Structure formats: structure tokens, C-alpha cells
């Protein structure tokens, strides 16, 4: 009691190291637990039906900033990013549970705004709120969302089914949410320096929207169903493409090659990256929070997806010893580094992508 | 953007008022959702099997104080109090998901200690950890636990089945966790005033344990099974007996009479209350965090439970218009007030229990 020992800092391990360290002592053995820790969601089997379930925590000033995130968007984003985990299992989200802790600085109207966003997302994704918890907090806001979905056993996709030769694909475009964040951070600074300044978001609506109010790619799950396509592995892009590639490769025991010139980058993302003197490729590879789906497909599925405008084939799976490499526009091979969101500052000064990525 | 309106304070509504306000806009219609917001857990039906699921958030300096709560106990308590919600549905907990946000002031060893407590509780209650999320926090620790359990449809007990004439029963004893908290707060103050002072917990082990490391009454759920007893309604005592009585009465549309002399109060709780010049009855009625089960039983079940040492019959259900009343030791009727944990300070100066409760 009242003592305080200090030894190893958790920063030294990093988020994924910490998760591995903490969870290695836990094993699963219950008949209904099909898959425990380590994927986008856990899988339960209940009377032959598969349920997928995930839980995510969102912390003020870590995941969102009240200075530029309207509460209605924060509520929406917590739900859509949680549902993204269910989509990443090729399942359909059906229920959510939301816990919030709020300090007394928030008014009832503010909380109403947050829940209006939660409700809008529930309607958009056809999920229902079935429970939660409300609590005080001493400082700041904390939100936790548990999302529940369902899928037929043979339809569920984990991170671990990719095979050598499979195509690597991604939905939508990448790097936009990160560039939107850069714009918001810049305008916040302008405002803090001079409270009379209005934020200038002119021509940045797409990328700012990607950051503030991202969507889960439920439509892609629907498209797989429609096209009769079954991905061999899948993950959602929350920490950044590079980081997700590492997860898929680790779980599936494959390597991956990615073509720089195949990376889908929106013009607004591209132009803004240049404006900020950042390499658009770096933003696409390491910017997080796009909530697109990254998945692998057997080559036989190529004909079924080749005309889908919203899916880009960005590379392919190799033998594991071939590693994880970006093939640059000039044809050089550059080893990827596993970088999540939190390491992005270092990434920008990291030269591993070479000059090829500055274009 | 960058604006901040202020109007109604959330304090004015109170926790339950806020929950009612926020959730009224959400409805349930999915075929698998049997029960949504409003009970200890939501109920889902999946291929004919019933699943119960609840989520709880625990915030540093709101739910626990690092000054006197060892992390191993914090981890244990988060799990046991979440499993208590599953027990309150007469179900068996099977899986948990744990999200944590921690600031960088915590060492790896500290986080290990937290997870050792989580693991100990998982082993004790035979549940497995199947997922979670780890995050940074700017300040303080935040933990969210989602607990999942199962029960046959006809065994599940909600808050809404109590009938006029049913017996009102509670497991274990009441007020101990609250008196343990008073001891810990007193010793914290002594320590803050003089850092050389050692905490004096002599003879207070039971009540301090009730506060720091409470147990979920899974054994009572087992006992119901063994005795062939089916409660008509049930809730766990997290905010305090009085508050839980209000929940059962509201959901079941009944009134309740409680006999002061039937309230189970441990000798250590009683003696410590007197030492603190508090009425033991007030502590039993309004002290929270005992995590005992409060339930109603048809009178026909009396013979089955009368010899269970760990169950006290403390009153009975009446017609709703008869209200919620405490019958004091001297035979007076005193109307209960709905008071949760947060209002306890007012409760101590509230005279509604009368002098009868000071003994």
C-alpha cells in the first residue's frame, strides 16, 4: 500500500508488443470460443451459428480532439470504426454496446450531440444499441464500443488464410484520413495563435471528412456476397497499410510485394501531401484511420473483381522468406517497416522508402 | 468548429436520468435481440440459445484510487464486478473482453500486476479473455470489461418478474464495501498528512477486502440450480440496496417492504460504522459495491431456501401504490429514497431513516 515501484516503461514494448506480452498468459478452451485474442474480432460459435465480437476504446486527446472534432462526428466515428472490425471478419454487424465516461464540464446538449452521432451511425449500419455504461471521469472523455456481428462459419475471414500467389487488394483510397488530420492540426494551431482566425478547410472537405467521419466498408462485405468472392484473409486499415500488411503476413505466414504505382491515393490526399512536403506514398503506406479493407484473394477470383472500381489490386503474396517489400515506381525493392499510427512522426523522417516515394 | 456552447449540466439529471434520456431514442427490432438497454445485461437469442452480455467502464479516481488499491486487486475487481452483472441474470459467465487505456507513467510491471489480477479472476470464475484493446491515455487509467454469459431461456432472470407477495432476499451481507472504503480513505488522509505513517488496517481485513477485491456471487447462481429455485427478479447490489430496490420495483411494477432487523450486516461493518458515527442501517441500505445478489422469490420457494445460511429474507413485495418502505426495529415505516453511490455523502446527513436507524 502507498508504494510505487518503477522499472520498465511500457513505451519500450510498443502497443503490439504490449498486447503480445499481456495476452500470452491467457489461453482459450471453452467449446464456444472459436478464436480469441489476435484478430479484428473474436469468434464464438453458439448452437452452430458464428458470432464475431470486438471491443475498442476511444480516448480524448489520443483518438480525438474536441478542438476540431464535433461531438456528433466523434459518436459516429466510434461506431463506424468499431463496425469496421466486424466488416474485416466478412461479417454483418448487428448490435453495439457503448460505455462513456464524461467529466462534468460537458453539458447535456453536448452528450446529446455525441449520441446523435452514435444514433446516426447505428441507423447507417443497421445496428442496434443494446447496452452500455455511463460514468463520471475526472478529466476528459472516454468511450468504449463493443460491436457484435454474425456470419456463416464458411464466410468468416480472419487474418490467417492468405496463401502464396494470392492477390493483395484494398478498398477505396489511402492516406486521406491522415492528411485530413494534418489540415485540422494546422488550423488548430492557427486558431490557438490567433483566436480571431477562422479555420480554412476550403477544398479539403474530402480528406477532413475521412478523418472526422470515416465509414466502415460494409458495402464491400455486401459486394463480396454479390460477386461470390471469398477473401482468404482480411484486416481493416486502422493503423496504416504497412502495419496491416505485417499483421496479415505474420498470421498467414506469407510475404507480400506491393506496387507503389498501384496504391490508391485520392487527388486531394496527393495534393495536400505535396503541400505539406510529405511523400504521398508514405501517407498511403503509414497514415492510419482510413478504415478501408485490406484483403487477399485467390488468383481465380480475379475475373470477379477486376471491374470493381472501388477495389484496387496492389500486390500479391509471396513465400514468407521473401519478406514484405514495396516495389517503387522506378522498380526498386524497398523493405517495409511495421509502423503504426503512433510512430508516424518518425516515419516522416524515415528514409527507408527512398527518393522514389517523393513524387 | 472551435466553438463551445454551455447550457444544461449533466449533474442535474443524475446517472439514471442521463441513461434514460440518452437511450430513449434507441429502439430494438433485430430478431436476435431479446432485451436491450435497462437490465444488468442485454439478452440475445442465437439459434435458440440465450446469451447475456454486459459492459462496464472503470475510471481511475472515480472507481478506484491507486493510492490504496493495488493494481492486482483493480484487475480482479473489474472482472468480478462485471461477472456480477451476468450472475444477476442467473446466467453463467463464459468470456470477457478487456480494454485498457494507460498513461506512460505506468511501468510494464504495473500493467503485469493489473493483468495478474484479471487472470486470477478469470480463473476463479472460469471465464476466458477473448479480446480487448490497449491504448494510451493522457492522464489516468481507464478499463472497460465486456462480459458474456449463457443460460437456458427459462432460467434467465431479469429485473421485471417480481410479483406482489414474493419474498425479497439478499445474499451475503451489506455495507461492508462502503465501510472498507471509509477505512481506506481515512488511512490515505493519515498518510498524506504524514508520509511516515503506516496504514492501520488492523481488524479491518474483512471490510477492506470487500472494497478492494469483491467477489461475484456465482456460487449463489449455482445454489439456485442445486435447490431448484427460480428467482422471479434479480439485480446485483452495485449502487446500494436502496437504489437496487427502486430498480426492481420500477421494472416489476411492485412496491417493497424491508425489515430493518433482517438486514444482514457483518459485525466488522457494524462496529466500524459505529466508530465512524454512521448508522449501520444507512450503510447497509445505501453503501454500494457489495456485489451481492438482491432477488425476489415466490413464497412457495421458502422451504427450499430457509436453511441457506448465505441468503437472508429481508422483506416482501407489495402492490405498487404501497411504495418502498423500511420497517424500522421500532416498527415505524420509513419511505426509502433512491440513492446511489454518488449521493452517499448527502445520505449520511439525511434524516429520513430517523433515529430508529441509529443503534
- Asked if B115 and A22 come within 8 Å (Cβ–Cβ), the reply is yes
Task: Give residue B323's pLDDT.
Answer: 96
Task: Give residue A339's pLDDT.
Answer: 57
> From CA B173, how far away is CA A303, in angstroms rounded?
68
Kindly list the residues from chain B whose CB atom is less than 8 angstroms away from the CB atom of residue A9: 104, 107-108
How close, in Å, is residue A299 to chain B by CA atoms?
A: 32
Rounded to whole angstroms, what are the CA distances from B346 to B55, B277, B286, B341, B359? 28, 15, 11, 10, 20
Average pLDDT (B94-100) is 96
Percent of chain A with pLDDT over 90: 74
- Asked if B55 and A99 come within 8 Å (Cβ–Cβ), the reply is yes
Average pLDDT (A108-117) is 92
Which of A10, A28, A46 is opposite residue B106, by nearest beta carbon? A10
Nearest chain B residue to A35 by CA distance is: B130
- Asked if A115 and B191 come within 8 Å (Cβ–Cβ), the reply is no
Task: Give residue A175's pLDDT.
Answer: 98
Residue showing cell 450486516: B265
Average pLDDT (B155-171) is 98
Residue A11 clears pLDDT 80, i.e. is over it: no
Task: Give residue B338's pLDDT.
Answer: 67
How close, in Å, is residue A322 to chain B by CA atoms?
A: 31
Query: In which band, very low, low, confident or very high, does the pLDDT at A16 lie, cut at 50, 70 and 90?
Result: confident
How close, in Å, is residue A235 to chain B by CA atoms?
A: 15
Task: Give residue B259's pLDDT.
Answer: 97
Average pLDDT (B88-109) is 92
Which of A10, A29, A148 is opposite residue B107, by nearest beta carbon? A10
CB pairs A-B closer than 8 Å: 276
- B225 vs B341, more confident: B225
Which of B23, B108, B144 is opposite residue A10, by nearest beta carbon? B108
Kindly list the residues from chain A whose CB atom is less than 8 angstroms away from the CB atom of residue B18: 108, 111, 134
B61 touches A: beta carbon within 8 Å: yes
Query: Could you tell me if A103 and B102 are in contact, meaning their C-beta atoms sit under 8 angstroms apart?
Result: no
Helix (H, G, I), strand (E, B) or coil at A170: strand
Instruction: Select the residue from A6, A18, A21, A22 to test the B interface by mutation, using most B Cβ atoms within 10 A.
Output: A22
Query: Could you tell me if A233 and A159 are in contact, meaning their C-beta atoms sit under 8 angstroms apart?
Result: yes
A9 touches B: beta carbon within 8 Å: yes
- Asked if A55 and B140 come within 8 Å (Cβ–Cβ), the reply is no
Rounded to whole angstroms, what are the CA distances from B154 to B31, B142, B157, B165, B251? 18, 36, 8, 21, 19
Ranges of beta strands (E only) in A23-179 are 33-35, 42-46, 49-59, 92-102, 128-136, 142-151, 167-171
Query: In which band, very low, low, confident or very high, does the pLDDT at B347 lie, cut at 50, 70 and 90?
Result: very low
pTM: 0.90
Residue A349 clears pLDDT 80, i.e. is over it: no
**Partners of B51 in the beta sheet?**
B44, B150
Residue A322 clears pLDDT 50, i.e. is over it: yes
Residue B27 clears pLDDT 90, i.e. is over it: no
B196 touches A: beta carbon within 8 Å: no
Query: Could you tell me if B167 and B256 are in contact, meaning their C-beta atoms sit under 8 angstroms apart?
Result: no
Looking at residue A138, the DSSP 8-state letter turns out to be: S
Least confident of A9-23, A161-175, A337-351, B298-312: A337-351
How close, in Å, is residue B101 to chain A by CA atoms?
A: 8
Task: Give residue B154's pLDDT.
Answer: 95
Task: Give residue B357's pLDDT.
Answer: 31
Q: pLDDT tens digits for B253-302?
A: 999 999 999 999 999 999 999 999 999 999 999 999 999 999 999 999 99
Task: Give residue B106's pLDDT.
Answer: 83
Kindly list the residues from chain B whose CB atom is less than 8 angstroms away from the CB atom of residue A67: 2
Residue B74 clears pLDDT 60, i.e. is over it: yes
Average pLDDT (A45-64) is 93
Predicted ipTM of the assembly: 0.89
- A202 vs A281, more confident: A281
- Asked if A150 and B32 come within 8 Å (Cβ–Cβ), the reply is yes
Q: How far is CA A291 from the centre of its chain?
A: 4
Query: Could you tell me if B287 and B179 are in contact, meaning their C-beta atoms sit under 8 angstroms apart?
Result: yes
- Asked if B131 and A54 come within 8 Å (Cβ–Cβ), the reply is yes
Least confident of A100-114, B32-46, B162-176: A100-114
Task: Give residue A9's pLDDT.
Answer: 76
Residue B5 CB neighbours (<10 A): 8
Task: Give residue B356's pLDDT.
Answer: 32
Residue A78 clears pLDDT 90, i.e. is over it: yes
A148 touches B: beta carbon within 8 Å: yes
A186 touches B: beta carbon within 8 Å: no
Looking at residue A59, the DSSP 8-state letter turns out to be: E
Least confident of A38-42, B6-10, B69-73: B6-10
Can you list the domains of chain A with their CATH numbers? 10-151 (3.30.1330.10), 167-357 (3.90.650.10)
A190 touches B: beta carbon within 8 Å: no
Task: Give residue A338's pLDDT.
Answer: 67
Task: Give residue B348's pLDDT.
Answer: 31
Nearest by Cα to B259 from B157, B172, B349, B170: B170
Residue B22 clears pLDDT 90, i.e. is over it: no
Strands A255-259 and A324-327: parallel
DSSP string covering A209-254: HHHHS----HHHHHHHHHHT---SEEEE-SS-HHHHHHHHHHHHT-
Least confident of A190-194, B151-155, B293-297: A190-194
Query: DSSP 3-state helix, strand, coil percentages of chain B (rounded to 5)?
Result: 40, 25, 35
Kindly list the residues from chain A whose CB atom is less than 8 angstroms away from the CB atom of residue B31: none
Nearest by Cα to B271 from B355, B349, B206: B206
A129 touches B: beta carbon within 8 Å: yes
How close, in Å, is residue B100 to chain A by CA atoms?
A: 7
Least confident of A191-205, A230-244, A345-359, B94-108: A345-359
Buried b (16+ CB within 10 A) or exposed e, B181-219: bbbbeebbeebeeeeeeebebeebebbbbbbbbbbbbbe
Task: Give residue B23's pLDDT.
Answer: 80
- Asked if A144 and B55 come within 8 Å (Cβ–Cβ), the reply is yes
Supply φ then ψ for residue A348, to 5 degrees. Answer: -65, -25
Residue A134 clears pLDDT 50, i.e. is over it: yes
Nearest chain B residue to A136 by CA distance is: B62
Task: Give residue B7's pLDDT.
Answer: 67
Task: Give residue A115's pLDDT.
Answer: 95
- Asked if B37 and A130 come within 8 Å (Cβ–Cβ), the reply is yes
Which of B37, B109, B150 is opposite residue A131, by nearest beta carbon? B37
Task: Give residue B205's pLDDT.
Answer: 96
B14 touches A: beta carbon within 8 Å: no
Task: Give residue B339's pLDDT.
Answer: 57
Kindly list the residues from chain B whose CB atom is less than 8 angstroms away from the CB atom of residue A72: none
- A133 vs B92, more confident: B92
Which of B51, B101, B130 is opposite residue A28, by nearest beta carbon? B130
What is the signed CA dihedral for A32, A37, A38, A39, rounded to 10 degrees? 50
Supply φ then ψ for residue A134, to 5 degrees. Answer: -120, 145
Amino acid at each position: 500500500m502507498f508504494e510505487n515501484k518503477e522499472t520498465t516503461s511500457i513505451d519500450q514494448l510498443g502497443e503490439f508488443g504490449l498486447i503480445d506480452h499481456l495476452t500470452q498468459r491467457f489461453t482459450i478452451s471453452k467449446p464456444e470460443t472459436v478464436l480469441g485474442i489476435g484478430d479484428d474480432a473474436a469468434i464464438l460459435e453458439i448452437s452452430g451459428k458464428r458470432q464475431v465480437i470486438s471491443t475498442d476504446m476511444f480516448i480524448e486527446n489520443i483518438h480525438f480532439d474536441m478542438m476540431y472534432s464535433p461531438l456528433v462526428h466523434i459518436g459516429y466515428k466510434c461506431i463506424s470504426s468499431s463496425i469496421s472490425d466486424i466488416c474485416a471478419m466478412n461479417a454483418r454487424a448487428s448490435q453495439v454496446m457503448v460505455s462513456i465516461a464524461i467529466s462534468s464540464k460537458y453539458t447535456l446538449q453536448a452528450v446529446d450531440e455525441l449520441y446523435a452521432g452514435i444514433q446516426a451511425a447505428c441507423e447507417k449500419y443497421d445496428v442496434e444499441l443494446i447496452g452500455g455504461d455511463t460514468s463520471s471521469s475526472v478529466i476528459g472523455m472516454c468511450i468504449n464500443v463493443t460491436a457484435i456481428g454474425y456470419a456463416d462459419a464458411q464466410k468468416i475471414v480472419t487474418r490467417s488464410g492468405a496463401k502464396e500467389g494470392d492477390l493483395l487488394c484494398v478498398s477505396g483510397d489511402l492516406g486521406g484520413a491522415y492528411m485530413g488530420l494534418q489540415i485540422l492540426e494546422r488550423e488548430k494551431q492557427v486558431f490557438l495563435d490567433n483566436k480571431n482566425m477562422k479555420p480554412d478547410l476550403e477544398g479539403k472537405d474530402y480528406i477532413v471528412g475521412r478523418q472526422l467521419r470515416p465509414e466502415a466498408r460494409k458495402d464491400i462485405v455486401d459486394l463480396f456476397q454479390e460477386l461470390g468472392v471469398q477473401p482468404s484473409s482480411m484486416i481493416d486499415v486502422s493503423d496504416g497499410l504497412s502495419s496491416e500488411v505485417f499483421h496479415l503476413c505474420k498470421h498467414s505466414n506469407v510475404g507480400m510485394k506491393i506496387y507503389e504505382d498501384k496504391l490508391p491515393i485520392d487527388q486531394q490526399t496527393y495534393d495536400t501531401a505535396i503541400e505539406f512536403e510529405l511523400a504521398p506514398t508514405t501517407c498511403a503506406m503509414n497514415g492510419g484511420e482510413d478504415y478501408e479493407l485490406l484483403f487477399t484473394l485467390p488468383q481465380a477470383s480475379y475475373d470477379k473483381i477486376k471491374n470493381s472500381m472501388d477495389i484496387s489490386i496492389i500486390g500479391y503474396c509471396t513465400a514468407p522468406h521473401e519478406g514484405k517489400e514495396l516495389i517503387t515506381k522506378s522498380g526498386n525493392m524497398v523493405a517495409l517497416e511495421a509502423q503504426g499510427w503512433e510512430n508516424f512522426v518518425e516515419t516522416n523522417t524515415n528514409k527507408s522508402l527512398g527518393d522514389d516515394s517523393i513524387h
